[in-house]
Amino acid sequence: LRSRSPGRARRTNASRRSCLVTRFGDIYAEERLDAETLLRTYISDIEMVQRIIYIAAVESFRAAKMAYRQFKIRVRDTLSLGHSGPESLEDAVLDYIVRHEDLYDVQGSVNEVIRSMNINPKISFPPEIDFIVISNLIRELCRVAFSMQTLNPPLDIAFGTDGELFSETKYHRSSDSDFTAVLVAYHVWPALMENDIVILKGKAVTKR
């Protein structure tokens, strides 16, 4: 019997996780602010701007996770035809995806995100402008979300709803929040999660 040794993806899991968590924080500090500045040139309502960016983040993770599942199925089907070890088939699939993440059709995910945002009833945009103006933010979020699916366990963002009870462990309050309010009016940025444990806090606005 062949011994089953962990693949390269599993051996590098901790270092890749650290890099991806840092990258997610960098996107919040850099690409998010760039997108906010850009959107403010078209939309005066800061709440709408922040809602657009939050929904872009949520939709980016949704699209990237769906693309990852489809990509993984195709890789497994291909490798299973001639796989003989020494690593398990699942490890071989994961190793292949990590080595070939450049094959991820990120533009396809960006297009899917923009389509979803165009029909989202919570956000609106001047008719002469398209959500493609923040495609750089969407692209970077899709890339990091896709890569996070290769981790064990994978990282994901928290699901937030307007009117939910504000959680100190999950979110920071925005500076313009009512700090006595207990309900979330809307979200600015999602929290990053690992097995339902908060890795990085998100940001939310609380109002009465």
Per-residue pLDDT at 4: 46
Residue with tokens 């962990």: 6
120: alpha, beta or left? (left if phi > 0; alpha if psi -120 to 50): beta
Residue 95 has pLDDT above 70, yes or no: yes
Least confident of 12-21, 60-69, 89-98, 176-185: 89-98
Per-residue pLDDT at 85: 66
Query: CB within 8 A of 127, min separation 6: which ones?
Result: none
**Among the ranges 85-89, 90-94, 116-120, 145-149, which has the highest mean pLDDT value?**
145-149
pLDDT in tens, 16-62: 999 999 999 999 999 999 999 999 999 999 999 999 999 999 999 99
The Cα–Cα gap between 20 and 90 comes to 22
Per-residue pLDDT at 172: 96
Per-residue pLDDT at 84: 67
Q: How many percent of the chain have pLDDT more than 70?
A: 95
Residue 2 has pLDDT above 70, yes or no: no
Stretch 102-116: mean pLDDT: 97
pLDDT in tens, 148-177: 999 999 999 998 999 999 999 999 999 998
Q: Specify the pTM.
A: 0.91
Stretch 101-105: mean pLDDT: 94
Contacts 24+ apart (CB under 8 A), 128-133: 129/42, 131/52, 131/56, 133/38, 133/39, 133/42
Q: Which of these, 65, 76, 89, 73, lies nearest to 149 by C-alpha position?
A: 65
Q: Where are the domains of the chain?
A: 8-155, 158-207
